[in-house]
Amino acid sequence: MPRISACIISYNEEERIEDCLRSLRGVVDEIVLVDSLSTDRTLEIAAPYVDKLVHQAFLGHVEQKNLAFDEASHDWVLSLDCDERLTPELAASILAHKEALERHAAWELTRKTFYVYRWLDHAWYPEWRVRLFDRRRARNGGTNPHDKVIVREGTVGRLDGDLLHLSYPSLSHHLRTMDHFTEVAARELVAKGKRVSLLTPFTHSTWKFVRLYVLERAFLDGFAGFTVSLLSGVHVFVKYAKVLCLRYRDAATRPGTRG
pLDDT of residue 209: 98
pLDDT of residue 15 exceeding 70, the answer is: yes
Q: Residue 117 above 80 pLDDT?
A: yes
pLDDT at 111: 97
Q: What is the pLDDT of residues 21-32, one digit of tens each?
A: 999 999 999 999
Per-residue pLDDT of 61-109, as tens digits, reads: 999 999 999 999 999 999 999 999 999 999 999 999 999 999 999 999 9
The pLDDT score that the predictor gives to residue 259 is: 46
Q: What's the rounded Cα separation, in Å, for the pair 32 and 35?
A: 10
- Give CATH superfamily name and number for 4-168: Spore Coat Polysaccharide Biosynthesis Protein SpsA; Chain A (3.90.550.10)
- Rounded CA separation 168/138 (Å): 29
Tell me, what's the pLDDT at 239?
Answer: 98
- DSSP code at position 102: G
Mean pLDDT of 142-158: 94
Cβ contacts of 7 within 8 Å, gap of 6 or more: 32, 34, 65, 68, 69, 71, 72, 77, 78, 79, 80
Give SS3 for 116.
coil
The pLDDT confidence band at residue 120, using thresholds 50, 70 and 90, is very high
For residue 255, is the peptide bond before it cis, meaning its omega torsion is within 30 degrees of 0? no
Q: For residue 139, what pLDDT band results from cuts at 50, 70 and 90?
A: very high
Q: How far apart are CA 39 and CA 240, in angstroms?
A: 33
Q: Which amino acid is at 202?
A: F
Report the C-alpha gap between 232 and 148 in whole angstroms.
18
Which pLDDT belongs to residue 258? 54
